[in-house]
């Protein structure tokens, strides 16, 4: 696989988004603030003291950051050198 900046979208037809993470009052931990419940899964990384989520979604979500550099920055902060391939209910 290529580097984070040049990695192609996965064959599952999903989309990458970056949102600020917020505390989840129901189960604890963090949740993607602007798109809870719409993603297959999320990876969390802290940048400049702010927790963000890189989220993989099955459909487009309007008004949410899709910049590849933002996705790459969050995934790198989470410790990934490549885009993860996993998702809830699939691989």
pTM higher than 0.85: no
pLDDT score at 45: 94
d(CA 78, CA 53): 9
Structural domain span for residue 50: 15-77
- Residues 48-58 pLDDT 10s: 999 999 988 88
For residues 54 and 78, the answer to whether their CB atoms sit within 8 Å is: yes
Indicate the number of domains in the chain: 1
pLDDT score at 74: 94
Q: What is the dihedral of CA 19, 86, 69, 50, to 10 degrees?
A: 40
Give the H or E element holding residue 69: helix 68-77
- Residues 11-22 pLDDT 10s: 566 788 899 999
């Amino acid at each position: 696989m290529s580097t984070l900046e040049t990695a192609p979208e996965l064959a599952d037809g999903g989309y990458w988004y970056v949102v600020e993470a917020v505390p989840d009052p129901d189960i604890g931990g963090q949740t993607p603030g602007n798109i809870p419940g719409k993603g297959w899964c999320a990876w969390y990384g802290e940048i400049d003291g702010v927790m963000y989520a890189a989220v993989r979604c099955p459909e487009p979500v309007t008004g949410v950051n899709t910049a590849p550099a933002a996705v790459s920055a969050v995934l790198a902060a989470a410790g990934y050198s490549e885009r993860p391939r996993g998702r809830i209910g699939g691989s």
